[in-house]
Structure 1
């Protein structure tokens, strides 16, 4: 039923795909354990954000309580709004956001660009969405986060360092995901315990191994015997065999390396290597072929020279 409703609302919303979305807010005071009492926008219109174009928020209703304005809003709740993409532009309307709730939606991904405009963010709740990965750098601009929930998503991968900068994080809910079913609250030590499970169960360490091999290939010191193509092929094969084979960040990085020409790699000082062309690859097979050709030419010349000497010797004997 939830999926059918999404299809119906999405079809209707496509008619206004290019128009920035306006939030219809019901402004209320709410109390939370982490942020205390805050003035909050409870979104009461169906957003149905099914593409990046639709994710742009252009304005919000201003039927505020008393004399308050958008500047007084420090929380926003977008629960049950059929959102597939994280809204863009909220910070231009509400500049002092401390709390974001977007539970029970269809959000597929969230990245650093979605959160970087909220430096005061203390509580983020994305419970019951469709998120599959949490990648490095997601919270680089949100050091004040105390409460984070990704429970009941489809997460199979979490970067092993993504939570390292959150020194005051004391609520972390990762329950009911593909790779982990753990949560912690009111205890920093419990959070650290959950993070140990993240590193062992959510492919963080396996990703780290692949990451280290990329760095080794990119930063390798100058070596005249490096066969870059051979090494890259081996790395790609290992990546495809790993459990992180479908991570977007790795695929993009791999494709970027594959598209670079050897001279571009040298100029970028990323992967020092000697110049080579198609005759220099395949483990020296071309060199072997060249050697065989030269050897055949030497033998042919020697045979021809020896034949000429025999011919002259026979002719001289006849004259005598």
Structure 2
């Protein structure tokens, strides 16, 4: 009887967990980007009509808008994913499983409340992270631990009050950092590694 009860409790937990998970489909307009130096074509995904208001919202399918791709298209060739001026209060889950080679990730003007290491963990090739005009209050410790290739981070016009002191220390390629119009700091460093290092020191003082 005890074993049966234990099984029931575990099963119930799984059902509750699944019921709390939301699955959505996203529509992408794909734009090809031809690189002459490498003679290769990659693709940019610009999303349409996205709405995410609950945590743990999983993107389970991407629909192409109006046959915008070519025969050479594959999801592994998508290097940019953009959600702009839509309602995305929480980071969309599973994007990393669909687009495994993203270099640019944009969630701009979407009311995004938070960003975590778990959200970014599998974007190993990420170079440009653009999260401007959202409602992020805190940048947690080791947020970018698994994104060592980051060159640009845009957090313009959020509501940042706390940024962990060591957040940016291991990002050796970071040369552009936008932090203008935040609570604890309002500065930027553009295409200059030395200026980024100075800004990081100010963050450690002002955003404890």
Secondary structure of residue in 2 paired with 1:91:
helix
CA-based RMSD of the aligned residues comes to 1.6
- Which protein is richer in strand relative to its size? 2
The TM-score, its normalising length taken from structure 2, stands at 0.82
Q: What is the CA–CA distance in structure 2 between the aligned matches of 1:184 and 1:79, rounded to whole Å?
A: 23
Instruction: Describe how 1:116-195 pairs up with structure 2 within 5 A.
Output: 116-195=121-200
Aligned match of 2:101 in 96, 105, 130?
A: 96
Secondary structure of residue in 2 paired with 1:200:
helix
1:27 is the counterpart of 2:30: yes
Secondary structure of residue in 1 paired with 2:52:
coil
Q: What is the CA–CA distance in structure 1 between the aligned matches of 2:137 and 2:101, rounded to whole Å?
A: 29
The TM-score, its normalising length taken from structure 1, stands at 0.54
Match of 1:56 in 2: 58
1:123-156 Cα distance to aligned partner (Å, 9 max, x none): 0000000000001010000000001011100001
- Which protein is richer in helix relative to its size? 1
1:42 is the counterpart of 2:59: no
Q: What is the CA–CA distance in structure 2 between the aligned matches of 1:179 and 1:140, rounded to whole Å?
A: 23
The structure whose Rg is larger is: 1
Match of 2:14 in 1: none
Superposed structure 1 runs of 4+ greater than 4 Å apart = none
Q: Deviation of residue 21 (structure 1)?
A: 1.1
Structure 2 regions of 5+ residues with no counterpart?
1-19, 35-40
Q: Are 2:58 and 2:92, in contact at CA under 8 Å, matched by a contact in 1?
A: yes
Q: Deviation of residue 38 (structure 1)?
A: 4.6
Q: Are 1:73 and 1:94, in contact at CA under 8 Å, matched by a contact in 2?
A: yes
Structure 1 regions of 5+ residues with no counterpart?
1-16, 32-36, 204-320
